[in-house]
Structure 1
Amino acid sequence: MNLAQLHYTSEPPGPDGSGFRFTAVSPGVPAALLREAEQLIGYEPPRDAPSRPGPQELAAFPQALSLNVLADGSRLLARSVYTGADYSGRWGNFHAHAVHLPQPAGSGPAVGELPITAWGSPQWATATPEAGAPVLAAVPAPGRLDRAALAAFVATRGPWLAGFFADVRRLGEDPDAPQIVLVEADSEAVARWIMLACSVLPHQRGQWLTFTTYTRRPQLARQQIIGVVPEDGPSLAGQEHRYRVYDTIRSTAPAALEPDVWADTAARVWQAQRQDLVAEVRRLAAGPYDAGPLAALALAADIALPSPGRTAAADWVAGHRDALDHVRLHALALALGRPAGDRDPAEVAAAGRLLAALDGWAPPAVCEPLVALTLTEAVRTGAPPADLPTAGALGAAVRGRLATELEPGLRAALDGPAVEPGHPAGLLRVASVLGVDVGDLLPGVARQLALALLTDPEGTYGSGVRAALAELPVLRALVLDRLDSLAAGDPAAGRRLFERTALRPTAADARPHLRMCAEAATAPASAAADRVGTLNALLAGSGVSLYAEPLVLRTAMRLVWDGEPPGAGEAGLVLMAAGAQVHREAGTWELLVRAAVRAPAGDAEAAELAPELLGQFQEEIPARLRPSLLLLELTRNLRSGPAGGGWVRQVLDLRSLDPEPGPRESAYAALCARLLAGDRPDSELRALIESNDAELLAAYRAQARTPAVRDRLRLDPGYAADCFTVWSSQPQAGPAWQEARTDLLDGVLRPAVRSLTPAELAEVEQSLAQLGGRWADEFRGWQRPGAFGRLRERFAGRRSGSAGGSGTAGGDGG
């Protein structure tokens, strides 16, 4: 390697009268490089420097050792020193000695001396040598390294080291990072700062870290690290966006921009005088600023680190367990396992990952401190991790000691409120690993866990709870027992548990309610089409007899119908299959009653079910539901059975007790259908007319408009004649009947009569003639256009006279 030298001085003046010139330059250095170098190697003495210093004062002047990157990418390493006033005393006298490093910045050797090591080199000249400036084979040799002085320096700058290393890191990562300004009374202290900076940087990066150990004008300096004397430090105040100022004279440093675990670890390594670890870490497969490997080496060397550093070390070693030998791994594990007041959850989790990586691979002695740490922190925080070590991971002595130490805290944590519902189950696993008997606390933990599983299945049934239920059979049995009881009260929650988790009762688990919930959760979509069949399947899968455990019927019905009543037909089948006594004991009789009373109007199966319910559950049915069932029973009797008498009065009396709409409308329809039938009792028709009940008469009018009645009016002359006599009768009845019969004659009968042939009309008249009186004449008059109005007026006249007439409801009518 041929490195050109340059000597530059300000004494004495040259032929052109200038006191500044190159006095010796190696051959072949281009003029452009000299012009650029001349701007970089000047020297201004401190403001308060004496104009004519003595030898001792001259030695105290700061030295400016600098590294600059030139325009062509090469570097210039230079030292400028004050040599005393010129012969006239008019300007300062200095000498600059520079070495040109031709390799472009960033391409320097991966090994070899760094430029900063040239500080104090005996090869630096303070005057132009008589031999001129021959090329050099290497950077000037390092000066004498005083390790004791460096250690003392690090000790006094300890509070600022971490922040300084973080700023140095930013210089390596961000071209626009702020410059670092070091305020020191001695430029040698600045050089030591720069040595520290280069020590933690990758070697090539340290080759092109630009710096100057002294300048009078920091605002004009372009180096990344700048040294100034104390009187020049205040000039940078208020420019925090450009400079990170470390003023050791005034004991000030810039505020940390963000936490930097790598920088903090590097600072602690230097303070422990184990800077060899910084060099060693470069041989590990890691990024230049990865905190993990450096922290791992530091902990293995018994250097105390805060929790973030310990976390980084554990995480890195978990992924690189082959990087450290077993001796260092054991030392690392011991360091992680020591009591610490600042341990955060991330560190505990990282230690758990490290334990998982080493378990079965490293010797038990390596893992044992990590096992103890995991168990101790689980008890301390009440939040055990999902991955807990097994009992075999601890030796008998350590296990016994930990059990004694942790039992009080373990019992207190199990007996108190949990941060997360799954934590107590994990603590039971800790107790199992330690051999601590907490059997008296198991029922309480099981109750809490069962309730949490039903309330939040997905959030509770995590890996820790799964492991606890698998490892602790007694806990599993208690939890399933409690779940079975809770599922009996809330089957929908039980079904959600099995829909959203992988928990399943085994064939040996005799917990009928839970087994039905599990089966309902996995039932195919087609099960909704045959709900009674699904109910029977659930009951068969419960594993118990309905007669031995009637409550399973209630659970099964709530699972199938989600707490709503079944359809009336389904209710009838369920009643027949299980029997009234089982329904009575299960409390499901009310669902059957609700199935009947909430059935829509016209539901024939509800009418068939009602008498069964009235007969089977006479004592249980509350008074508020009885009228609805009685109306349904009457409906059935009116349609197909012996109806007795007093139909209209029964309907009106039961309606006054506020029945459900479906039974009421069903009874209306059945009653009106019978009153429109040919075999109706005339007394019931009279009761309808005399009731003058608008609601019941509206149902009668609606029934008269059904297709069956309309068809019969057209096809049966006798029926049409009968309806004419009924709907024309009772002129003295109330306004509701008057409105109803007018509507029936005009809106129902007239359209039917108009569709008849003359022969069919003659048959109707013949039927009316057989009834006697003037019915046939009135029918003929009613048919003529406009005659109906006159007929209505005549009927109105009768109301003001005699109560008799050409016909009565008791004698004619249909």
Structure 2
Amino acid sequence: MNLAQLHYTSAPPGPDGSGFRFTAVSPGVPAALLREAEQLIGYEPPRDAPPRPGPHELAAFPQALSLNVLGDGSRLLARSVYTGADYSGRWGNFHAHAVHLPQPAGSGPAVGELPITAWGSPQWAAATPPGGVPALAAVPAPGRLDRAALAAFVAARAPWLAAFFADVRRLGEDPDAPQIVLVEADSEAVARWIMLACSVLPHQRGQWLTFTTYTRRPQLARQQIIGVMPEDGLGLAGQEHRYRVYDASRSAAPSVGPPDVWADTAARIWQGQRQDLVAEVRRLAAGPYDAGPLAALALAAGIALPSPGRTAAADWAAGHRDALDGVRLQALALALGGPAGDREPAEVEAAGRLLAALDGWAPPTVCEPLVALTLTEAVRTGAPPAALPTAGALGAAVRSRLAAELEPGLRAALSGPAAEPEHPAGLLRVASVLGVDVSDLLPAVARQLALALLGDPERAYGAGVRAALAELPGLRALVLDRLDSLAAGDPAAGRRLFAGTALRPTAADARPHLRMCAESPAVAAAAGQDRVGALNTLLAHSGVSLYAEPLVLRTAMRLVWDGEPPGADEAGLVLMATGAQVHREAGTWELLVRAAVRAPAGDDGALELAPELLGQFQEEIPARLRPSLLLLELARNLRTGAAGGGWVRQALDLRSLDPEPGPRETAYAVLCARLLAADRPDSELRALIESNDAELLAAYRLAARKPVVHDRLRLDPGYAADCFTVWSSQPQAGPLWQEARTDLLDGVLRPAVRGLAPAELAEVEQALARLGGRWADEFRGWQRPGAFGRLRERWGGRRSGDGQGSGGQGAGGHGSGSHRSGGQGAGGHGG
């Protein structure tokens, strides 16, 4: 390797009038390189330098050793020193000796001497040698390294080292990183700073770290690390976007940025005088600034690190257990498991990961410190690690000692409230590993865990809970027992538990409510719309007889119908299949009753179900629900002909007790249909007219508008005649009946009559004539336009009970033999 040399100094003025020029240059150096180098190797003496220093004073002047990157990418390593004033005293006298390193920055050798090692090299010349300067074969040889002085320097600069290494790292990673300014009264101290910087950088990166150990004008310097005298560093500390200033003369550490574990570890290694570890780590690290391997070597070497450093070491070692030999691995484990007042949760977690990596691979002597750490911290915090050690990770003596130390804390932690559901489960696993008997605490922990599982399954059923239920059969049995009991009270929560977790009762687990909760989604999907079939399938899956365990019926019904009552038809099938006694014992009779009373109007299933419920659950049905069922029973009896008498009065009396809307509407509809039938008693129709009940009369008007009534009015002359007499009667009744009969005559009968042929009208008149009185004449007059208004006025003018209408006061029944001429009350008509 040919490295050109350059000598530059002040001398008597040359032909161009300048006193500064190159006095010796190796052959072949281009003029452009010389012009660029000339701008970089100048020297200004310190501000307080004596004008004519003596030999001893000259030795104290700062030296400017610098490395610069030139425009073509090559580098220039130079040393500039002050040699005293010239013979005339008109200009300063200095000498610069430079070596040109032609390899571009970043491409230098991966081994070999770093440029900064040339500090103090005997090959630097303080004057131009006679006879020319041949090219050098290598960078000037390193100067003498005073290790004791370097150790003293590191100890004195300890407060600044971590921040300095962090800033050096930024120089290597960020082209726009601030320049580092080192304020020292001695340029040799600056050179030591730079040596420290290069020692922690990758070797090639250290070859092109630009620096100068001294400059009078730091604002003009372009090197990455700049050394200045104290008087030249004033005012730079406030420009942190440009400079990071380290001024040991003022005993003020620079502002601290984000924590840098790598930089802090490197600083502690230098303070521990184990800088050899920085070089050794390069065979272990994947990246130049990996904190983990550096911290692992430091801890194994006995260098104390704070919690972030220990965390990084444990995390790295967990993934690289083969990288350290047994001695270092054991030393690392001892360092991690030792007492520490600053231990953070992240460190405990990392130690647990390392233990998991070593458990079963390394001998117990390596694992035991980590086991003691993780278990002790688990008991102290109540938050056990995700992975617990196996039995082989502890020797008998250590296990016995830890059990005695941790049992009081374990029992206290298990007896108190838990921040997370996994904590008590994990602590039980810790007790199992140590052989501590806490069986008396299992029921309370199982209850707490069961409540958490039902309340928030996804959160509660974590890895720790899964492991505890798998490893501790006693806990699993108690938890399932408690879950079964809780699911019986809240089956929907039990279904959510199995929908959101992988927990499943096994064939050996005789927990009927849990089994049904687990099977519920699949059974519902298979059954489709057949919910009664789904109920029977769930009961079969429960594994017990509902007669031996009636509560399974309640759980199954809540799962199938989501806590709502079944349909009336479904309720009837369930009651028929199971019998009343099991519903009475399970408390599900109320669901059946609600199925009937909440059924929509016109639900035939409710009509059939209500009498069964009234007969089977006479004592259980509360008073507030009984009117609804009785109305449904009345409607059923009206349809079957078993109602007896007093229908209207029964309906109105039950209506006054505030039944549910569905049963009320159903009963009114059936009652009114019977009042429109051919065989209705006259007394019931009279009761309707005299009731003056708006809702019942509205139901009657609605029933009269049914298609079956319209068809019969057109097809049955006797029926039409009967309806005319009924709806034309009782003018003395209340206004509600007056409104109703007017609506029935105008809105129901008149449209039907208008559609009749003359022969059909004649048949209606004949039917009216058979009823007697003037009904036929009234009908003919009612049909004429405007005539009904006059009739209405005449009827409206009658006094109650004056008996002046044709055919008497009452309305006759349907057919020639049903009308009682002159009789009292309203007659019937066919429906």
Q: TM-score range by the shorter chain?
A: over 0.9
Aligned residues: 814
Contact 2:383 2:423 (C-alpha < 8 Å) held by counterparts: yes
Q: Which amino acid letter does the alignment assign opposite residue 278 of structure 1? A: V
Deviates more, 1:103-112 or 1:300-309: 300-309
**Other-structure match for 1:384:** 384
Stretch moving more, 159-168 or 801-810: 801-810
Residue deviations 1:275-321 (CA, integer Å, cap 9, x gap): 11111111225111111111111112121111111111122222222
**Deviation of 1:452 (Å):** 0.1
User: What one-letter code is carried by the residue in structure 2 that aligns with 1:778?
Assistant: E
**Larger CA deviation: 252-261 vs 653-662:** 252-261
Instruction: Identify the residue that residue 35 of structure 2 maps to in structure 1.
Output: 35
Tell me which amino acid in the other structure corresponds to 1:72.
D
TM-score, structure 1 normalization: 0.98
Question: What does residue range 60-209 of structure 1 map to in structure 2 within 5 Å?
Answer: 60-209=60-209
Alpha carbons 2:730, 2:826 under 8 Å: kept: no
> Once the 2 structures are TM-superposed, how far is the Cα of residue 813 of structure 1 from its aligned partner?
3.9
Alpha-carbon distance in 1 for matches of 2:408, 2:56:
71
Structure 1: which amino acid aligns with 2:13? P
Higher mean alpha-carbon deviation, 184-193 vs 287-296, is at 287-296
DSSP 3-state at the match of 1:522: helix
Report if aligned partners of 2:337, 2:370 keep a CA contact under 8 Å in 1.
yes
Correspondence for 1:572:
572
What is the rounded CA distance, in whole Å, between the counterparts of 1:669 and 1:239 in structure 2?
A: 94
Task: Name the SS of the counterpart of 2:76 in structure 1.
Answer: strand
Shift of 1:113: 0.1
Output aligned runs, 1:174-253, within 5 Å. Answer: 174-253=174-253
Mapped to 2, the partners of 1:8 and 1:416 lie a distance apart of 81
Q: Counterpart of 1:617 in structure 2: which amino acid?
A: F
User: SS state of the match for residue 246, structure 2?
Assistant: strand
- How far the C-alpha of 1:524 sits from its partner, in A, is 4.3
Query: How far 1:555 moved relative to its partner?
Result: 1.1
Separation in structure 2 between the aligned mates of residue 408 and residue 194 of structure 1, nearest angstrom? 55
Deviation, 1:800, is 7.1
1:417 corresponds to which residue?
Answer: 417
Bigger mean CA offset, 571-580 vs 416-425 = 571-580
Give the distance between the partners of 1:381 and 1:56, measured in 2 at CA. 66
Amino acid at match of 2:315: D
Structure 2 equivalent of residue 649 of structure 1: 649
Deviation at 1:249, TM superposition (A): 0.2
Is 1:751 the counterpart of 2:754 in the alignment?
Answer: no
**Amino acid of the structure 2 residue aligned with 1:684:** E
Alignment match, 1:556: 556
Q: Distance in 2 between matches of 1:522 and 1:502?
A: 15
Q: CA deviation at 1:503?
A: 0.6
| Residue 489 of structure 2 corresponds to residue 489 of structure 1 | yes
CA distance, structure 2, for counterparts of residue 589 and residue 332 of structure 1:
70
Q: Distance in 2 between matches of 1:473 and 1:5?
A: 83
Kept in 2: contact 1:550–1:585 (CA 8 A): yes
Aligned to 1:674: 674
Note if contact 2:680-2:828 (Cα within 8 Å) is conserved in structure 1.
Answer: no
Structure 2 distance, partners of 1:527, 1:350, is 51
Out of 693-702 and 7-16, give the one that drifted further: 7-16
User: Which residue does 2:822 correspond to in 1?
Assistant: none
Residue 641 (structure 1) shift: 3.4
State yes or no: 1:515 paired with 2:515.
yes
Q: CA deviation at 1:785?
A: 1.9
SS of the residue 1:356 aligns to: helix
SS in 1 for 2:401: helix
1:453-507 superposed Cα distances (whole Å, 9 cap, x missing partner): 0000000001110010010000001111111111111111011001111111111
Deviations 1:14-68 (A, max 9, x none): 3544221111111111111111111111111111111111222111111000000
Determine if contact 1:187/1:227 at 8 Å carries over to the other structure: yes
1:527 corresponds in structure 2 to 527
* 1:622 matched residue in structure 2: 622
**CA deviation after TM superposition for structure 1 residue 659, in Å:** 0.6
Structure 1 residues 657-695: Cα deviation after superposition (integer angstroms, max 9, x where no partner): 111000100111011000000000000000100112111
CA drift at 1:526? 3.9
The residue correspondences of 1:634-783 to structure 2 (distance < 5 A) are: 634-783=634-783
Deviations 1:360-386 (A, max 9, x none): 333333223222222122112211122
Q: Deviations over 1:313-363 (max 9, x none)?
A: 122222222222222222211211112222222222222222222233333
Question: Is the counterpart of residue 582 in structure 1 residue 582 in structure 2?
Answer: yes
Matches of 1:238 and 1:152, distance apart in 2: 29
* Distance (Å, rounded) in 2 between the aligned partners of 1:804 and 1:439: 98
Deviations 1:200-221 (A, max 9, x none): 0011100000000000000000
Alpha-carbon distance in 1 for matches of 2:419, 2:463? 17
Q: Deviations over 1:213-241 (max 9, x none)?
A: 00000000000000001111113142111
Cα RMSD (Å): 1.4
Farther off after superposition, 42-51 or 294-303: 294-303
Match of 1:601 in 2: 601
**What CA distance in whole angstroms lies between the structure 2 residues aligned with 1:527 and 1:85?**
108
2:284 match: 284
- Distance across 2 between alignment mates of 1:47 and 1:641: 128
State the Cα distance separating 1:508 from its structure 2 match: 1.4
Letter in 1 for 2:559: L
Do the aligned partners of 2:120 and 2:144 also contact (CA within 8 Å) in 1?
yes
Confirm whether residue 443 of structure 1 aligns to residue 436 of structure 2. Answer: no
List alignment gaps of at least 5 residues for structure 1. Answer: none
CA contact (8 A) 2:523 2:537 kept: no
AA at the equivalent of 1:207: Q
SS in 2 for 1:282: helix
Q: Deviations over 1:730-767 (max 9, x none)?
A: 11111100110111011111111111222222221111
Q: TM-score, normalised by structure 2?
A: 0.96
Q: Does the 8 Å CA contact 2:106/2:204 hold for their aligned counterparts?
A: yes
Kindly tell me: are residues 811 and 652 of structure 1, through their superposed partners in 2, closer, same or farther at Cα, counting changes over 3 Å? closer
Aligned AA (1:215): T
- Over 3 Å counting, the alpha-carbon distance change for 1:762 and 1:242 in structure 2 is same
The question of 1:591 aligning with 2:591 is answered: yes
- Percent identity reads 89
Aligned to 2:404: 404
Q: Secondary structure at the match of 2:623?
A: coil
Residues 499 and 522 of structure 1 are in contact (CA less than 8 Å); yes or no, is this contact kept in structure 2?
Answer: no
| Structure 1, 221-230 or 395-404: larger mean CA deviation | 395-404
- Tell me if structure 2 keeps the 8 A contact 1:185–1:230: yes
Question: Contact conserved, 1:782 with 1:791, CA < 8 A, in 2?
Answer: yes
Q: What is aligned with 1:351? A: 351
- Worse overlay, 570-579 or 678-687: 570-579
**Which sits farther off after the overlay, 178-187 or 372-381?**
372-381
Q: How far 1:132 sits from its partner (Å)?
A: 2.3
Tell me the SS of whatever aligns to 1:249: helix
1:720 Cα offset (Å): 1.0
Residue type of the partner of 1:205?
A: R
1:501 and 1:641 map into 2 onto residues whose CA distance is 57
Matched-pair contact (CA < 8 Å) for 1:245–1:253:
no
Q: What is the rounded CA distance, in whole Å, between the counterparts of 2:563 and 2:330 in structure 1?
A: 61
Shift in Å, 1:269 = 0.9
Conserved 8 A contact 1:494-1:518: yes
Task: Give the whole-Å Cα distance in 1 for the aligned partners of 2:800 and 2:725.
Answer: 20
Call closer, same or farther: CA 1:788–1:718 in 2, change over 3 Å. same
Native 8 Å contact 1:391 1:432 kept in 2:
no
User: How far, CA to CA, are the matches of 1:69 and 1:479 in structure 2?
Assistant: 72
* Alpha-carbon distance, 1:811 to partner: 6.2
Q: Is the 8 A contact 1:498 1:521 kept in 2?
A: no
User: How far off is 1:180 after superposition?
Assistant: 0.1
Contact in 2 for aligned 1:725/1:813 (Cα 8 Å)? no
Counterpart CA distance in 2 for 1:530 and 1:586 is 22
The 2-side partners of 1:521 and 1:773 are apart by 73
**Mean Cα deviation higher: 652-661 or 82-91:** 82-91
Question: How much does 1:258 deviate?
Answer: 1.1
Residues 721 and 767 of structure 1 are in contact (CA less than 8 Å); yes or no, is this contact kept in structure 2? yes
Is contact 2:295-2:310 (8 Å) kept?
Answer: yes
For structure 2, the 5+ residue unaligned runs are 812-824
Q: How far 1:804 sits from its partner (Å)? A: 4.6
Q: CA deviation at 1:803?
A: 4.5
